[in-house]
């Protein structure tokens, strides 16, 4: 994937310190920690590893990620892994998308009490769906779904809402049949000053430990292992894919050789898989690597 012309990290390197000095009245230690992590992500400051292509022999040094949950670069890979895991749970049925939005008048209160209000929004929306589906006048059955908290709109302004992805069906109370349920979106360019962009970006920093993706009903973590295979069975679908087996010794040949660790990126020359030859701390990388390019201010 090609690097975009400008990243959040570039803005922080260019104007982050000035922004921090002018925003001390509301910036928290967590805000500063997020900015510092994003600025250092995939740079020599975090160390890295020396990689080689297992196909053509190309070698390079790659930097470690900060793994901060608010870092756009780190979250892109985490999102892809999460989506792939969810594909294994997709039932062969239609899905519906339900959105719950916090009333606009409560948004300022939520901004000052994120952990409490965001948790209430997730719990209240989930309980609403579960109770409506359970009522005999509707499905009279148990649904399952996952909810994702979003706190922004298309302009990166504060707009708390929850996206719920719901299979269009439910489990009967006895868990024996599957019951099925009966603006052109154009993109536009918006220009913001660096300070305003960083201010809006930090509006969406979540409290430490807050879980923004939650599963409910027959997809709840404590019930999914038992009820999800039942859903597949009732739908006469193939069972869940067999999980990959760990490396095991070959019969009569002793322990199998441990494969070299793989790098999270592919060779830019031939597209082959990269393997990690050596892990490096920040100091050796700084000696081997050229200095980072200065951000353009024009």
Is residue 172's pLDDT more than 70? Answer: yes
Distances (CA, A) of 190 to 16, 154, 195, 281: 21, 10, 15, 40
Instruction: Copy the structure tokens of residue 190.
Output: 């918006």
Residue entry with tokens 């909810």: 147
| Distance between CA atoms of residues 198 and 17, nearest Å | 11
Decide which of 110 and 288 is more confident.
Answer: 110
Q: Average pLDDT for residues 138-149, to the nearest whole number?
A: 90
The region of weakest confidence among 127-131, 163-167, 222-226 is 222-226
pLDDT of residue 41: 92
Neighbouring residues of 202: CB distance < 8 A, sequence distance ≥ 6: 27, 31, 34, 35
d(Cα 183, Cα 200) in Å, to the nearest integer? Answer: 25
pLDDT for residue 189 is more than 80: no
pLDDT reported for residue 284: 57
Is 62's pLDDT higher than 60?
A: yes
pLDDT at 246 > cutoff 50: no
Looking at the DSSP bridge assignments, the partners of residue 167 are: 95
What pLDDT does residue 14 have? 93
What local confidence, expressed as pLDDT, does residue 165 receive? Answer: 93
Identity of the highest mean pLDDT range in 81-90, 146-155, 216-225, 247-256? 146-155
Residue 147 pLDDT level (bands cut at 50, 70, 90)? very high
Give percent of the chain with pLDDT exceeding 90.
32
154, two tokens: 């298309």
Query: Sorting pLDDT into bands at 50, 70 and 90, what band is 96?
Result: very high
The pLDDT-based confidence of 9 (bands split at 50, 70, 90) is: very high
What rounded mean pLDDT belongs to the chain?
A: 81
80 vs 41: which has the higher pLDDT: 41
Where does the pLDDT of residue 237 fall: very low under 50, low under 70, confident under 90, or very high at 90 and above? Answer: low
- Euclidean distance between CA atoms 87 and 83, whole angstroms: 6
pLDDT > 80? residue 122:
yes
């Amino acid at each position: 994937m090609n690097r975009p012309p400008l990243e959040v990290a570039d803005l922080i390197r260019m104007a982050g310190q000035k922004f921090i000095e002018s925003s001390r009245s509301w910036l928290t230690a967590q805000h500063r920690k997020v900015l510092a992590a994003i600025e250092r992500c995939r740079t020599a400051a975090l160390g890295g590893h020396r990689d080689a292509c297992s196909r053509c022999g190309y070698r390079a040094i790659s930097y470690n990620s900060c793994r901060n949950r608010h870092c756009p670069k780190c979250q892109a890979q985490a999102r892809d892994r999460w989506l792939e895991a969810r594909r294994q749970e997709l039932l062969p049925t239609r899905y519906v998308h339900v959105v719950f939005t916090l009333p606009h008048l409560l948004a300022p209160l939520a901004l000052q009490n994120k952990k409490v209000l965001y948790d209430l929004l997730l719990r209240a929306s989930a309980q609403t769906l579960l109770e409506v589906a359970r009522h005999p006048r509707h499905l009279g059955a148990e649904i399952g779904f996952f909810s994702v908290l979003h706190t922004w709109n298309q302009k990166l302004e504060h707009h708390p809402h929850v996206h719920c992805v719901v299979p269009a069906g439910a489990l009967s109370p006895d868990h024996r049949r599957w019951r099925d349920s009966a603006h052109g979106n154009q993109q536009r360019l918006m220009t913001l000053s660096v300070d305003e962009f960083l201010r809006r970006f930090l509006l969406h920093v979540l409290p430490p430990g807050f879980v923004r993706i939650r599963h409910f009903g027959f997809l709840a973590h404590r019930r999914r292992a038992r009820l999800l295979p039942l859903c597949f069975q009732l739908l006469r679908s193939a069972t869940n894919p067999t999980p990959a087996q760990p490396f095991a010794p070959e019969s009569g040949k002793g322990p199998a050789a441990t494969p070299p660790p793989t790098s999270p990126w592919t060779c830019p020359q031939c597209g082959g898989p990269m393997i990690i030859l050596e892990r490096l701390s920040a100091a050796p990388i700084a000696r081997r690597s050229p200095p980072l390019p200065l951000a353009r201010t024009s």
